[in-house]
Amino acid sequence: MKFAGAHILSIDQFERGDIEEIFRVADEMEPYALRRKVTRVLEGAILGNMFFEPSTRTRVSFGCAFNLLGGNVRETTGVQTSAIAKGESLYDTARVLSGYSDVICMRHPEPGSVAEFASASRVPVINGGDGANEHPTQALLDLYTIQKEIKAKGGALDGLRVAMIGDLRYGRTVHSLARLMALYKNMQIVLVSPVELAMPEKYIEKLREAGHVVDVSTELTPSIQHVDIVYSTRIQEERFASKEEADLYRGRFRLNQAIYTRYCEPNTVIMHPLPRDSRAEANELDKDLDENPNLAIFRQTDNGVLVRMALFALVLDVVDDVDKHAQRVNWYHTRG
């Protein structure tokens, strides 16, 4: 795809080459995220960070990514119903707001709303999550993390062995990740969930059509023995009829250091889309894993900044200019 001026709405719009381009640019952003230098390439540009549903970390991550490229951020932080209550269409909202900025990140509770907004926008729109529908930057940062972790261990996305664990029925991130994995080859995928929370058939088919070997399981320990990645997820309580119904499944698959040591390969990487549910009744990933160097959950959120910087740089077509506007960093930090 041509990135300059494009909307980023769905992972379905990417081919494998597009993903590789995003990841290559994300790699180039690392010196800036590590504060080895700063860049002014987007000095004067404005991000409209339009969050019509609260999501602190996604919002802040997008905002920081834009700041790290030298740009300014204007934003909304939650429900803004006034104009809509007065009968305004999403078309009008988009026409107006797109007059204020150079690119828009939008989150909205309604599935499809971001695409509808984008069709009326005069500037590129990046989907920051539209309800149960899509959250493309989360899927990208997950796959980018997998690639980075596996590469550091001499592996590659093609041939990956992965266990996806937890609420595979309602978890938006595992669906999106499955769709992205279908762009790669020869994966071995184990889907571990309660029967009632199994991955929907259409995603499994997609993975099999891509030539991957897909196994389905209801048990944790046999499934995590020969994998490169354990991708754990929480029970999506808000999608169940009641807390009680969610409680039936919560805590079914718990990984801790003892289980890890006993069953996993020494270098198996542990991931989670966060937030992880650390309450005693859930505790998907025990905190005794926090010192395990293979726990990659915070590298995932760090990588989110890189992926978002890459998307901004691509959509605003400044990839080749970032370094030209680089500056020294003056302040104390322990990152780089």
Minimum Å gap between C-beta 53 and its own copies is 9
CB closer to its own copies out of 112 and 251: 251
CB closer to its own copies, 39 vs 223: 39
CA distance 298 to 282: 19
CB of 157 within 8 A of CB of 189?
no
Q: Which is nearer to its own copies, 96 or 213 (CB)?
A: 96
Q: What SS3 class is residue 253?
A: coil
Rounded-to-integer distance, Cα 98 and Cα 296, Å? 36
Q: How far is the CB of 7 from its own copies (least distance, A)?
A: 13
Rounded to a whole number of angstroms, the minimum distance from the CB of residue 225 to its own copies is: 27
CB of 64 to its own copies, least distance (A): 4
39 flagged as catalytic: no
Four-residue CA torsion sign, 270, 133, 187, 151? negative
| Burial track 140-171 (b if 16+ CB lie within 10 A, e otherwise) | bbbbbbbbbbbeeeebebeebbbbbbbbbbbb
Q: Which is nearer to its own copies, 56 or 242 (CB)?
A: 56
Q: Catalytic: 86? A: yes
- Active-site residue, from 59, 107, 175, 308: 107
Give least dist CB 333 to its own copies, A: 6
**How far apart, in whole angstroms, are the C-alpha atoms of residue 271 and residue 233?**
9
CA neighbours closer than 13 Å in the CB half-sphere of residue 325: 14
**Neighbouring residues of 36: CB distance < 8 A, sequence distance ≥ 6:** 329, 336
Which of 2, 86, 279, 328 is labelled catalytic? 86
- The answer to whether the CB of 184 falls within 8 A of the CB of 158 is yes
Nearer to its own copies, 121 or 193 (CB): 121
Instruction: From the candidates 135, 161, 175, 308, give the one annotated as an active-site residue.
Output: 135
Catalytic choice (57, 151, 202, 262): 57
Residue 266 vs 331, nearer CB to its own copies: 331
Is 239 marked active-site?
no
Dihedral of CA atoms 51, 26, 118, 77 in degrees, nearest 10, equals 10
Nearest distance from residue 67's CB to its own copies, in Å? 4
Alpha helices in the chain (DSSP H): 16-33, 56-68, 82-85, 90-97, 113-120, 136-152, 172-181, 201-209, 220-223, 243-247, 257-263, 297-315
* Residues classed as catalytic: 57-58, 86, 107, 135
